Amino acid sequence: MDPLVVFLDRETLGATVRAPGFAHRYDEHQVTEAAQVVERLRGAAVCITNKVRITGDALRQLPDLRLIAVAATGTDVIDKASARAAGVTVVNIRGYAFNTVPEHVVALMFALRRNLLPYANDVRHGVWGQSRQFCFLTHPIRDVAGSTMGIVGYGAIGRAIGQRAEALGMRVIAHDAVAGDGLVDLDTILRDSDVITLHAPLTEETRNMIGAAELARMKPNAILINTARGGLVDEQALADALRAGRIAGAGFDVLTEEPPRQGNVLLDPDIPNLIVTPHVAWASQEAMQILADQLIDNIEAFMSGTPQNIVA
């Protein structure tokens, strides 16, 4: 019987997913709840998942499963130790976000450095119309050129952002817990940067790596950007710092809980100079198609006996 391929959360990928180039059966679900995972994967050789969690308990009930193809770079939703124990290979997506995440970071940087949202809101609410002068200068505007960008996490995406920052006339400094050659320590990033952008993985070592003490060491006119993972920054400490004016602004694409069904301290509309976007830095149409193509490449490579992008 041809192997069964099951996509558990098709709605998370807004791109064309081509059929694998081998004889197979295919089943897809737009949404899958936790209680439906085992039932929907029963008899499947390949599971495709983006956000649906695959637990050790589920894996123990799925003896036919051979591959979990994660439709993302992060594999936090997979119990990888249990997958290894069960002989199930886990693969992920790599290298698809080299344009989309850097562009999102740059967009947040310009919006915050130039106070675009406060100015747009003032115009929308008629405040400009009450001005005595045609230039309505109520929020500080700071140039990007000549400023310093500090990059925390200097992997492929961090380097791609650094290239764009240098093209904009910025000085770039970087910190990475693994690759240390030519890089600086975190204290230097905090002290010298006008823009700090985070691109580190979320681990026990990096959780809340930016807290009240770190925020206090930043320049008062600096901004903080996080498009990596919620949890890298102490959200309450960030809210307090923004309200107190200890830093100039922040742009976040990630929160500790997503979606924030129980609310989040960073969603308070009274927090000044904060932009929060709903985990979309990765999601340009072009990037999603690259992701979808690589997803099927990964499955085809595994089924041909030459697996790639293995994480477990």
Q: What percent of the chain has pLDDT over 90?
A: 94
- Taking residues 54-65, report their average pLDDT: 98
Burial class (CB in 10 A: 0-12, 13-18, 19+), 175: buried
pTM for the full model? 0.89
Q: State the Cα–Cα distance between residues 262 and 151, nearest whole angstrom.
A: 31
Q: State the Cα–Cα distance between residues 71 and 296, nearest whole angstrom.
A: 9
What number does CATH give the domain 100-276?
3.40.50.720
- Give the model confidence (pLDDT) of 68-83 as tens digits: 999 998 898 999 999 9
Instruction: Give how far Cα 149 sits from Cα of 160, 193, 228, 253, Å.
Output: 13, 5, 16, 18
- Taking residues 209-218, report their average pLDDT: 98
The domain made up of 4-95+286-303 has a fold known as Rossmann fold (3.40.50)
Q: State the Cα–Cα distance between residues 231 and 200, nearest whole angstrom.
A: 11
Instruction: Give how far Cα 132 sits from Cα of 118, 122, 123, 128, 140, Å.
Output: 19, 14, 14, 9, 18
Q: Is residue 177 pLDDT above 90, yes or no? A: no
Q: Do domains 4-95+286-303 and 100-276 have the same CATH topology?
A: yes
Q: Is residue 180 pLDDT above 80, yes or no? A: no
Q: State the Cα–Cα distance between residues 59 and 78, nearest whole angstrom.
A: 10
- Taking residues 92-99, report their average pLDDT: 94
- Give the model confidence (pLDDT) of 120-175 as tens digits: 999 999 999 998 889 999 999 999 999 999 999 999 999 999 999 999 999 999 99
Q: Where are the alpha helices (DSSP H) in 168-244?
A: 186-192, 212-217, 235-244
The domain ranges of the chain are 4-95+286-303, 100-276
Name the residues annotated as catalytic: 229, 258, 279
For residue 259, say if its preceding peptide bond is cis, omega within 30 degrees of 0: yes
